[in-house]
Each structure stands twice: as structure tokens, then as C-alpha cells.
Structure 1
Amino acid sequence: MDRRVRRHFRHQADKLDASQPEFTIRTVFSGLLIGCLLCFTNLYFGLQTGWISMMSLQSALIGFLLSRFFPTPISPQENVVLQTVAVATGTMPLAAGFVGILPALSLLDEERDGVPPLRLSWIAAVGWSCAVAFFGVFLSPPLRKQVIIEEELAFPSGTATAQLISVLHRIPPPETSAKLRRGYSRLETEDIDAEPALVASAETAETPLVAEETEVATQEGWSALTWSFAASGAMTLSAYFFPVVFSIPLFGTYLAKEWLWTFTPSLSYIGQGIIMGFPTTLSMSLGMLVGWGILSPIATHAGWAQGPVGDMATGARGWILWVSLAIMCVDSLVSLMPVVWEVLYLKIWRGRAKADDGHSEKEPETEDRLVPMRWVIWGLGASVVLGTGLVWLVFGNEGIKPWATFIGFIMGGVLSIFGVRALGETDLNPVSGLGKISQLFFAWIQPGNIVANIIAGGVAEAGAQQAGDLMQDLKTGHLIRASPRAQFYGQLIGSSLSIIVTTTAYTLYNRAYQIPGPSFSAPTAYVWLGLARLLRDGQLPEHCGDFMLAFAALFAMVAAMKAHAARQGAPYAKWIPSGVAFAIGFLNTPSFSLARLIGGIIEHIYYTRMGRDRGGIRLIIIASGFVLGEGVVSVISLVLRTFGVGVASCWGCGHGMCGGCPA
């Protein structure tokens, strides 16, 4: 082995030591700053398309670039805590239902649903957020012990973030093989010659490639992030004053006006496509073609959807929404079946899981770095009791009974087990399907109450979604040897601040825009409300049930094939269409899916030509700047709209698809 590699490993070995600084003021402050940017970004995109990203990899990258301005560099463990804080802060728009549950409650119709629309005040929205913000955090420590330590599940996104951190900080890459999946082996100086696997990792870590990637991150990274952020922000601001910029009738005015086929050349959605990858954007685009190019015209011309195409109640968009719901539910349920079988049958019924009441032999951390179980027990109890009381205060007995909310929390804990395991194996947390399972259950125990159905489903989904996102962070920390207790503190702090940030941002958006409305359609709100109405009334649009059954059967087979291929490690598994991504193509108008497809194609061509190794992280840096640019600068548009500053020109908006211009 090269002497330079040997010296490098000896010099860097101390970075894996647990004595490195982790939970520091600068780490928490930076994480909160990045998390607030992600919070605004996720709320903005979630209200537009229903798609939210936890952005853990991007948080670690931006945190590293930001740390270049610090007097001393941050340690790898600090970076783990930083991105943990950022993710906990940035994902609250989905965890607390600001992109689905609350808009759905505002769509209630007194004549049809028996209750008037529910629009929460700022203080009521804070109370609701407090009710669901911490349950998932306290679920994380026991779930970590089971799925990360005992079962050693992969958690691909968390592992990828750990690998990025190892590149940025020039430390040995994390060992993610089945044999050493617990994380880094303790690297002692005298063991270098005796460990071939570590020697190979050392040679990989010190190749010119990794050195070049680190140079990109430290020298070119900040510049790339800045110009991509500025370009996306400038385009967003220009689209505010000239709305046609984001509503180009690429396929002609007729298709734009009558069938909603416009193109949004948004750099942020192109960046999302790059981050999602070509296989996911391809699934989404296939859904777009089937939903908007085939089913929408069929439903309209057959007279099954007699309203305007874009009308969620009577038009083709509302008609294909049901087909999308069927696809999402069956895809999530089929994907969960292997997990349910393993948990309920193999581990519980057959008793194959060994009892472990003490400190696990696989646990690499000492007790002082773990979250004490008494904290977990008291925290779970307090979060359930406090959450039940707050939900009762916000919605009252007519909204949902306290006992029903309590059951919702219990269901959230059970569903979290399945969701986290599915996430660990497939990198997909089927929260949409889990939420629908909860709605089905509450339609049985509290029939006819639409408000209770939506709220209880939201409570259960919040726990599963938050526990899943935090589990990815804990996997990253496990591989980098960061303290689980430090990450736990970061999760609590991030979730606490995000309650205020998310509620304030949502309140401002509600004052400036109609939600749901032309600019922010909140498609997942219609999914929640539609299922609640179906479970109460049992009425579907004409001939919609036939198509729902057909697509459900088709995607049950597709999901089974994809799950089997993924568990076998088949390389073609990623090219089997994702049911959830396919269904998102139905929910969103074509403009968003087209932009994401462009990003996916760019990602595919770039890494095909450059190779994954040579391609490095340049493209991810640029994509992150694109996404953050529009999300952050949209706040400026929000302020302008609040103060009555309108568009400069509606030229080219004759198709009626421009936000801010009269139809």
C-alpha cells in the first residue's frame, strides 16, 4: 500500500473517534438556517405538486460549504447533526399536513359534507403542529435499535449521505457490506496492514478522484451553488412579473387552454428531476402521458367528466384523481406485504426474533451516547397525551373525539414499524398508503365523520412519515459514528422551530393566494378529502370504478415485480415503474412532470457519459441551488403579493393557465 495512503489513514482515523465535537452551537444554528430554507422550499413545492424531499444529502453538502466560513472546520459528526437538524426543520410541512390535511379541511362543503370549511388560525395551526410534531421523534430511538442495529437495513438515502460526508471530510468511506453494515470498523494504527478491506477503502478514499471531488466541494462548490441559486431565483422573480415564463403553451394554445398541456421551464423542477433520477422521473412522465394524454380525453369525450378539464370536482382532473388514488394505495400495500409478513409472522408468530432486553452486542455506542429508554417512554406518553388534548382544543368534540385521536396515535406507532422497514429496504416510505389505511380504519370506527377521518389519518401519517425521515438521519449517524443522543437533541430542536416557521409561512401563503387555487393546487388535499367522501358516501364518478380496479390490478403486479426484484438486488429493479411516482404524474399537471423529466434526462446523460465516479457531486450541487433558489425567492413573491404588487404583463397568457393573471 502507498505510504501516502497509509499516512492519510493514520491522520484521518481520529475523525471517526466518538470524542469529536458533535452537538455544537454553530452546528445547530447552521442546521436551523438551512432547515428554514428547506421548510419554505418544501411548503412551496408541496402546495404546488404534493411532492416533498427530505433533502438530507443536500443539507450535508450545503452545511459543509457554509462551514468554510467558520474559524475551524466542522467535524464529520457535526455535519451529521447539522443535517439532522435541517431535515427535522424542513420536513414539517408534510409531517404536520400543511400540504394535504389542512388544505383538505378548507375544502369542506357544508351542504355536501355537513360541516363548513375549517380554516385554522395561526395559533390553532401551531396547536395542531405541536400535537403531531414530537411523536415520531420519540419513536425513533427504539426503531433505530431494531432496524439499524439488529436488522442492519440499508436505508439507501441515509447511506448515500454518509458516503457524501466521508468524501467531503476525507475520511474512510463507510462500510456498507452485509458483513460490516454497522458502520465504520474501529481503525487502529496497528491494524492497517492486517485489514485488507480497510486497506482497499483507504486506497479508494485517497485516489485522485476523491481528492478532486473534495476540491470541487471546497473551491468550486460554493460558486456553483451560488450561481445556480441566483439563476433559479432570477427566473422565479421574472415569472412573477411575467407569468407566461412559467406557463409556456409549448404544444399550442388549444392544448394549453382546453387540456392543460403547458410547459414550466422552472430550474427548480429541473433540479428536482436531477435529484430524483431518471427512473423516477420516467415513471412520473409515463403517468403524465397515461393520465393526461389518454384517460383525461376519454373521460371528457365519453361524458363521464362533464366539467372543465381542470375542475377537481366535475372535470377530468378530478376523474383521474381516483385512478391515481387506487394506484398509490395498491402500490403501497403490495410493497408493505413482505414487511408485514416478516414482522407479524416470522418475528411475532414464529418467534424468530430473539429477545434482547439489555445492551445489544451489535450496538457500537456506549450508554452515555444513546437515548435512555426512560426518556422514550415518558416522551411517547407525554406526546400522546399532549397531542390528544391539543387536537381536542383545536377541533373540539364535533371534529374528532379524544379517544379517536388516541387511537390515531396508536395506529401511527404501528404503521411506523411497517413504513420504516419498507423505507430501510426500498428507500420509499409509503406514507400515502399508510394514511389511507388509517382512513379506512376510522371510517369503520367513526362512520360518517369526514373531519375525524381526515384528522385521524393525518395523525397516523405524521408519525410514520417523521419516524421514517429521522431514521435515514440515524443511519447516516450510525455509519459516521455520530452520537444518537446528539441527533435526538437536534431532531427536537429542529421540530420545535419548524412549528413556528411552517405555520407562519402557511398563514402568509393563505393570505396572499387562494389555497387550493391556480397557483397552489394542493393536489394531495383532494386525495385526502376524496377518499373521506368515498368512505362516507360510497359514490364514485361514472365508470371511474372500472378503471380504478383495472389499474389497481395492473400495479399490484408491477409493485410485486418491483419489490421482488429489489429484494433480490436485481439491477433492473429501478427501471420497473414506481406506482407512487406514476400516480404523481396523474395528480400534477403536465407542466411540472415535463420539467422534472428534463432534469432526469440530464442526470442520466451526465452520469452515463462521465460515469458515477468521475461525475462526482458537481451536478448535485447545481441541482440543489436550483431547488433552493425558487423555494427561497418565492418568499419575495409572497411579500410582493401580500403588499398588492401585481404582475407587470399578462402577455401570452391567453390560454388562462398563468398564475396571477385573470383567466
Structure 2
Amino acid sequence: MMSLQSALIGFLLSKLLPTPLTAQELIVVQTTAVATGTMPLAAGFVGILPALSLLSEEQDGTPPINLSWMAAIGWSCSVAFFGVFLSPPIRKQVIIKEQLAFPSGTATAQLISVLHHLPPPDTSLRRRAGYREVNTEDDEEIQASITPGTDDTVEELNSGEREVVQHQGWSNLVWSFLASSFMTILAYFFPVVFSIPLFGTYLAREWLWSFTPSLSYVGQGIIMGFPTTLSMNLGMLVGWGVLSPMSKLSGWAPGPVGDMTSGARGWILWVSLAIMCADSFVSLLPVAAEYFTYLLPTRISYAMYGHEDTDSDKEDFECETEDRLVPIRWVLAGLGGSVVIGTILVWAVFGNEGIKPWATLIGFVVGGLLSILGVRALGETDLNPVSGLGKISQLLFAWILPGNVVANIIAGGVAEAGAQQAGDLMQDLKTGHLIHASPRAQFFGQLIGSSVSIIVTSTAYSLYQRAYTIPGPSFPAPTAYVWLSLARLLRNGRLPDNCGIFMLVFAAVFAAISAFKTYASRRQLPYVKWIPSGVAFAIGFLNTPSFSLARLIGGIIEYVYHTRISRDGGADIRAIVVASGFVLGEGVISVVSLILRTCGVGVISCFGCSPGLCGGCPA
């Protein structure tokens, strides 16, 4: 969601203004940026819409669905605001009453307080177990254990580092931006630059083992941190180094390795799906149990926790005045309007053959319920388990609308959108709460960001569809296959040969790992960050090795930088600035590449490319 990066770039840009932004104004800018950037995920432009384009009339009973620009606008409008109007009431519960950590939002608040010479925000926590008070020392340990890289970055900032951000930030950002831009434009004209046969041409051509030295991927690895990128690459080694050749050589996946239907990539996709579902389900269990226990009557709560309700439990910790809060009538009107209008728009875009209006309505209701679980998980672990929540919604709609693949994907997408959007925006509301920004101003920023992103995202997606095949070599959209594969499984119940046993084994293993990781996290054990993440491990299956290797380099850079270079309180913020420049450079120049492709300007040379593997090659 790039909260830290948005705050940093907004701060640097504001230095060009006659009057720089205040801390509260910067939070509104950052909130608007995050709301804008959330739309491609919330509206399913990286998963749901590509999945619909992969439909087969022979296999699914319906032809592929490719939305026009206007239809994409309608679909975006249908899911753009539901999560925004969900945010104020959820904020009251998880930020004000329960004071959940929201580590990324807290880290962003700490960064902004340093940049604006403000006192450190009060990040003391109260846990749900009888509102047990946690002192400042315990809180610091909790924050460090949850997001060691991010929080260490912020907490170690001193006055000298503030000067680094203000005076050297632009230099670091510009040079990293230019380096990433140069690599991206070079890879456009010479595609082999981003598809280097590092392990030999045979492995690159037949088994997809190539290397993409994308500085954007390196930057993402720096932001993600070494433990996460390590989990991803462990998954990559198991998936692409063990299971892929095993399925191919055993005849279970006889097609080309990269084929998502009959090849090894499609075979290991199912194992990845089992890992994600098991990890997400187990990690959500304590959150759900805690939440529903909280809803139980006082006597049952007393029997389970050994405490009674006290006046302090019932105290309203809201520190904002009414004129700075979002009125409840706005929330009710917005929720009702977004649900009604969203249901009508989904019906207008997909018709009765796609999904019935009553099923879309149920999707919004399910999305509201899942949002509560997703936001609570995000508040405690800094991870929004939308992948697992999406699978839960698909399972539900397989029972409500059996045999309808299109409705399963769309309804599941509607439910997931609310959880995705509400979770991402809640981190910003946590930042605003700690720095005393106006929740109403942030709410307006969220509405503006979501509204602008409808046009930007739909237009960009339509242009990319004209210039590239999605999914395809340049944009594989692996989550699209996850959505479609589960919908097909729920429709016809067929799995690839000998895939089921591997799914069960890996699901059981990662259910146990997830349970232990959840236990260790709640106990604040020091080694919790080194316990493999099931979701990150599964993503190593979904992406080809080229995507994971570059991110591992970024993770190693982050680890070495934090442990060797900046461990004594050095200019730690530089890593975030440089990583942001890497990501922004490739993002901006990719738009230039899109324009070149649309105008018919092709690659200069496909020398060294394996046919079909380099995104820019016509083969």
C-alpha cells in the first residue's frame, strides 16, 4: 500500500511549495495516494478481470469476458466506495476502543512526527484480554517484533537523519529513479535484459529458470524485508526446483512447463492454492475467535477470561470532536447507496447471465463481515489476508450459486474488494489518529482518491490490454489463475493427476506452521519473523523464478543495511528512499513503454530471448 513511501515523497514534494505541508496535511495527501493506489487490487484488475478473460465456453459454459473501457468504469464504480464507507465504524472499534497496533500505520506516524519535529506519538497498546494494559516498554517490543525492519527504521531516526531526508532525500530519490528508468527502457528495446538465462539457455527455455534484474523488484524486496523474500524464495525452490520437474517427468503435467492448464506451472498452482488457504484460515481463527468472544455476553466473557466489565472497559476513548468525525448519517447513506448502486452497476455490466442482483447483494454483505476479520488481522499482524478471504467467499458462493463460474468469481471479487479497501485505508486512519489529523479530512481524501483511481485504473488497464496480452509474458497475472482454478474446481471437482495428495500434505504442514507462527507472534517471541510465511511461500509457486530472485536481492540488501551499515543509528531512511525511487522509476517508464507499444514502436533486437518468454518479443 506504500504508506511510508507516499508520506516520504509527499514530504519531499511539499518542500517545493512556498509553504510546506503540515503533518496533518501530509497525512491527508498520503491517505489520498493510498486510496488511489488501492483500486487496482480492490477492483480486481490484477486478478478478477484477467480471470474472466481466461474463461472457456467449452470448459466453463461461457465465453471469455473482456470488459470495455466503459464497462471497466462501471465495475470500478460498483466496488470503489463500499470499503470507504465501512472505514469510519470499523475505525471506532479497532483503533479507538481496542487500539490495535496497525504496525505500518504506526510506523508512518512515527516517520511523519520525526520529519515535522513533533513529539513521538503515543503508541501504547491495550490488548483485548480484559483491556490488559501494556506499558511503553512492552509496546516497543511488540512493535519491533511485528515489523522489525519498518519500525526500526522509524524509531532510529534522529535529528541528523532528518537532515539526511531533507537535504539528501531528493538526490537519493532522483538517482535511484533514473537508474530504474534506464533499466526499464533498455529492457523494452532489448527484452533479454529482463530475461537473462542465468542458469543456461536450456533451463531458461524449458523450465523457465531465468533472471529479471528489475530494480523495481529489488526495491520491492527492500520494502518487503529479508524474512518475507526468503520465504518467497524457499517456495520458489520447492515449487520450481522440486515439484515442477517432478510433475513433468512423472507425466502428471505433460504439457509445456509454463502452460497453466496442462503444464507444471498449472499443476503447482493447486499446491500453492492449498498453502494459501490453509495459512490464511489458521491465521484467521484466533482473530475470529477473539472477535466473537468479545461479542459474547458478560458472564460468558467472565467465565473465559476471568474478568468483569468495568467502567474503563466501557469508556469512550475518542479524542476527536464531532466536527472532525464522519457523521453516522453519512456512513449509513453511503453504505446503502454504494450497495444499491453497486448492485445495479454489476448487473448492468455482467447481466443476468453473469450474476443475479440478489447474489451481488449477498456479496456486499459477506464483504462487510469479512472486512472486520481482515482489518483485525491487519491491525495485529500487519498482513491483510485478502487472498484467504477471497477463497472463503468463493466457497460460500459455490454453495449459493452452484456451477456458475462467472458468478463465483464476480461475487467473490465484490466480497474481497470491501476487505481489501477497508484494510488498506485503516492503516492511514491509524496514522491520522496518532498525529491527530482530522478523520473527516482523511475520509474526503479517501473518496477523492478512489474517485480519481476509477478513471486512471480503468484507462490504464484498457490501454495495457490493447498493447499486451493479459495474462501473458509481460503481465502473467498469476492470481487470475488462482481465482479461475478454484472456481473451476468448485464447479466440476476435478484436480490434475496426483495433485490432491500434495495439496493435503502441504496444507497440513503450513497449517501447523501458521499455528505456531501465530502463537509465537502473540507471545512476542524474538524469532517469529524467521518462521516461514505461508502466503509468501505460496507466492513463490505462483511467480516464475525470475520474479522471486530479484526480490531476494532486495531483501538481502535490506538485511545487510539494517544489520551492518545503519545498526548504530545511521541514515536508515535512505533505504526506503532508494527503494521508492526504484519502484517509481519502473512504474513511470512502463507508461512510456506502453505509449511506445501503442504507437507501434517495437523492440530493437530479440537477440538472446527464448521464444515467448521475453515480454517484448513478437515470438
**Both proteins in one fold, TM over 0.5:** yes
Query: In the TM superposition, what is the alpha-carbon distance from 1:347 to its structure 2 partner?
Result: 2.4
Contact in 1 for aligned 2:473/2:612 (Cα 8 Å): no
Query: In the TM superposition, what is the alpha-carbon distance from 1:354 to its structure 2 partner?
Result: 6.8
Alignment of 1:304-453 (within 5 A): 304-348=252-296, 352=301, 361-453=316-408
Which residue identity does 1:547 align to in structure 2?
Answer: F
Contact in 2 for aligned 1:254/1:655 (Cα 8 Å): no
**Of the candidates 84, 94, 97, which is equivalent to residue 44 of structure 2?**
97
> What is the match of residue 106 of structure 1?
53
Query: In the TM superposition, what is the alpha-carbon distance from 1:604 to its structure 2 partner?
Result: 0.2
1 CA distance for matches of 2:509 and 2:578? Answer: 37
2 CA distance for matches of 1:235 and 1:660? Answer: 14
Alignment of 1:147-162 (within 5 A): 147-162=94-109
2 CA distance for matches of 1:118 and 1:392? Answer: 14
**Of the candidates 29, 35, 38, which is equivalent to residue 88 of structure 1?**
35
2 CA distance for matches of 1:210 and 1:276? Answer: 23
- Deviation digits for residues 248-271 of structure 1 (CA, Å, limit 9, x no counterpart): 000001110111000001100000
Contact in 2 for aligned 1:225/1:621 (Cα 8 Å): yes
Contact in 2 for aligned 1:256/1:655 (Cα 8 Å): no
Query: In the TM superposition, what is the alpha-carbon distance from 1:478 to its structure 2 partner?
Result: 0.5
In structure 2, relative to structure 1, the CA distance for the partners of 1:298 and 1:426 (3 Å cut) is same
**Of the candidates 460, 480, 483, which is equivalent to residue 435 of structure 2?**
480
> What is the match of residue 538 of structure 1?
493
Alignment of 1:255-334 (within 5 A): 255-334=203-282
* Aligned-partner SS, 1:614: coil
In structure 2, relative to structure 1, the CA distance for the partners of 1:196 and 1:285 (3 Å cut) is closer
1 CA distance for matches of 2:611 and 2:58? Answer: 33
Q: Does 1:651 align with 2:599?
A: no
1 CA distance for matches of 2:360 and 2:570? Answer: 52
> What is the match of residue 628 of structure 1?
584
Query: In the TM superposition, what is the alpha-carbon distance from 1:496 to its structure 2 partner?
Result: 0.3
Which residue identity does 1:276 align to in structure 2?
Answer: M
2 CA distance for matches of 1:242 and 1:65? Answer: 34
- Deviation digits for residues 60-94 of structure 1 (CA, Å, limit 9, x no counterpart): 00000000001012111111111000000011100
Which residue identity does 1:277 align to in structure 2?
Answer: G
Which residue identity does 1:303 align to in structure 2?
Answer: G
Alignment of 1:485-500 (within 5 A): 485-500=440-455
In structure 2, relative to structure 1, the CA distance for the partners of 1:234 and 1:445 (3 Å cut) is same
In structure 2, relative to structure 1, the CA distance for the partners of 1:380 and 1:290 (3 Å cut) is same
> What is the match of residue 247 of structure 1?
195
> What is the match of residue 62 of structure 2?
115
Q: Does 1:467 align with 2:415?
A: no
> What is the match of residue 35 of structure 1?
none
2 CA distance for matches of 1:240 and 1:208? Answer: 40
Q: Which structure 1 residue ranges, 5 or more long, are not aligned? A: 1-53, 182-194, 198-203
In structure 2, relative to structure 1, the CA distance for the partners of 1:56 and 1:196 (3 Å cut) is closer
Alignment of 1:512-551 (within 5 A): 512-551=467-506
Which residue identity does 2:15 align to in structure 1?
Answer: R
Contact in 2 for aligned 1:606/1:615 (Cα 8 Å): no
Query: In the TM superposition, what is the alpha-carbon distance from 1:582 to its structure 2 partner?
Result: 0.4
Query: In the TM superposition, what is the alpha-carbon distance from 1:342 to its structure 2 partner?
Result: 1.0
In structure 2, relative to structure 1, the CA distance for the partners of 1:133 and 1:354 (3 Å cut) is farther
> What is the match of residue 120 of structure 2?
173
2 CA distance for matches of 1:403 and 1:360? Answer: 40
* Aligned-partner SS, 2:558: helix
* RMSD of equivalent CA atoms: 2.2
> What is the match of residue 561 of structure 2?
606
Query: In the TM superposition, what is the alpha-carbon distance from 1:345 to its structure 2 partner?
Result: 2.9
1 CA distance for matches of 2:26 and 2:569? Answer: 23
* Aligned-partner SS, 1:440: helix
Contact in 1 for aligned 2:114/2:157 (Cα 8 Å): no
Which residue identity does 1:484 align to in structure 2?
Answer: P
1 CA distance for matches of 2:182 and 2:66? Answer: 33
Q: Does 1:210 align with 2:165?
A: no
- Deviation digits for residues 440-459 of structure 1 (CA, Å, limit 9, x no counterpart): 00000110110000000000
> What is the match of residue 226 of structure 1?
174
- Larger CA deviation: 607-616 vs 644-653: 607-616
1 CA distance for matches of 2:193 and 2:77? Answer: 39
Alignment of 1:122-137 (within 5 A): 122-137=69-84
Query: In the TM superposition, what is the alpha-carbon distance from 1:179 to its structure 2 partner?
Result: 6.5
Query: In the TM superposition, what is the alpha-carbon distance from 1:492 to its structure 2 partner?
Result: 0.3
> What is the match of residue 586 of structure 1?
541
Which residue identity does 2:95 align to in structure 1?
Answer: I
2 CA distance for matches of 1:628 and 1:56? Answer: 14
- Larger CA deviation: 541-550 vs 345-354: 345-354
2 CA distance for matches of 1:623 and 1:512? Answer: 28
* Aligned-partner SS, 1:90: helix
* Aligned-partner SS, 1:564: helix
In structure 2, relative to structure 1, the CA distance for the partners of 1:241 and 1:325 (3 Å cut) is same
> What is the match of residue 642 of structure 1?
598
Contact in 1 for aligned 2:164/2:571 (Cα 8 Å): no
* Aligned-partner SS, 1:613: coil
Q: Which structure 2 residue ranges, 5 or more long, are not aligned? A: 129-135, 139-151, 302-307
1 CA distance for matches of 2:156 and 2:277? Answer: 47
Contact in 2 for aligned 1:92/1:502 (Cα 8 Å): yes
2 CA distance for matches of 1:571 and 1:105? Answer: 44
Which residue identity does 2:264 align to in structure 1?
Answer: A
2 CA distance for matches of 1:384 and 1:142? Answer: 16
Query: In the TM superposition, what is the alpha-carbon distance from 1:613 to its structure 2 partner?
Result: 3.1
Which residue identity does 2:591 align to in structure 1?
Answer: V
- Deviation digits for residues 11-35 of structure 1 (CA, Å, limit 9, x no counterpart): xxxxxxxxxxxxxxxxxxxxxxxxx
